[in-house]
């Protein structure tokens, strides 16, 4: 069976900078990205028992980022700049876990040792539910802070120091 996939990406970025005084500027920005994909998936509770195919399962990723930057310049020589950015990414598959849609696997009850087809369907439903939440969802917040001080020399060169700090957490699993 050939694999199917469709994809739609949408992105939008907005940024605004203002100069309250000639030597100082402050700006803020927002970026939004959405990736909506549909792809075929295969689920199996036990490969000896059966395989469940679901076509065009929706996958959605949403990234949002907020940023602020400020810059101050003294006598066209000394410049200070500070940057702050915060981004959050969410993603996950959304398979249809309707138990009534599961196919009846011939001999599934006897091969796997389940007392009835209902017991097999319940076990299979729990396995699909686990794979669609704990494995396939991610939440990744990230923060970045930066500061720069540089000096413009008369010869036309700039020299300075740059400090960056980044922090992120990678949380995969059920979002509660």
Instruction: For residue range 31-56, list pLDDT tens digits in order.
Output: 998 888 887 777 665 656 566 677 77
Mean pLDDT within 159-173: 81
Least confident range from 54-63, 124-133, 160-169: namely 124-133
DSSP alpha helix (H) spans, 48-162? 108-112, 117-133
- The per-residue pLDDT of the chain, averaged, comes to 78
Distances (CA, A) of 37 to 6, 22, 58: 6, 47, 6
**pLDDT greater than 80 at residue 158:** yes
Mean pLDDT within 120-132: 68
pTM above 0.85, yes or no: no
Mean pLDDT within 112-127: 70
Do residues 99 and 128 lie in contact, with contact meaning Cβ atoms separated by under 8 Å? no
- Give me the pLDDT at residue 38, please: 81
| CA–CA separation, 144 and 164 (whole Å) | 7
| CA–CA separation, 36 and 6 (whole Å) | 8
Between these two residues, 21 and 109, which has the higher pLDDT value? 21
- Give me the pLDDT at residue 134, please: 47
- Domain count of the fold of the chain: 1
| CA–CA separation, 114 and 121 (whole Å) | 10
Q: Counting every residue, how long is the chain?
A: 176
Between these two residues, 74 and 61, which has the higher pLDDT value? 74
Count the neighbouring beta carbons within 10 Å of the beta carbon of residue 59.
19
Note down the domain range covering 159. Answer: 5-172
In the chain, what is the greatest distance between 2 CA atoms, to the nearest angstrom? 86
| CA–CA separation, 145 and 7 (whole Å) | 33
């Amino acid at each position: 069976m050939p694999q199917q996939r469709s994809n739609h990406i949408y992105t939008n970025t907005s940024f605004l900078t203002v100069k309250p005084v000639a030597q100082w500027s402050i700006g803020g920005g927002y970026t939004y990205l959405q990736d909506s994909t549909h792809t075929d998936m295969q689920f199996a509770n036990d490969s000896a028992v059966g395989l469940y195919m679901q076509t065009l399962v929706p996958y959605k990723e949403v990234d949002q980022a907020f940023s602020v930057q400020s810059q101050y310049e003294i006598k066209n020589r000394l410049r200070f700049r500070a940057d702050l950015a915060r981004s959050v990414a969410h993603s996950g598959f959304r398979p249809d876990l309707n138990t009534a849609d599961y196919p009846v696997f011939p001999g599934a009850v006897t091969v796997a040792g389940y007392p009835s087809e209902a017991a097999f369907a319940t076990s299979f439903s729990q396995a699909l539910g686990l794979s669609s939440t704990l494995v396939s969802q991610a939440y990744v917040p990230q923060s970045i802070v930066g500061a720069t001080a540089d000096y413009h020399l008369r010869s036309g060169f700039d020299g300075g120091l740059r400090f960056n700090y980044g922090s992120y957490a990678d949380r995969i699993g059920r979002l509660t």
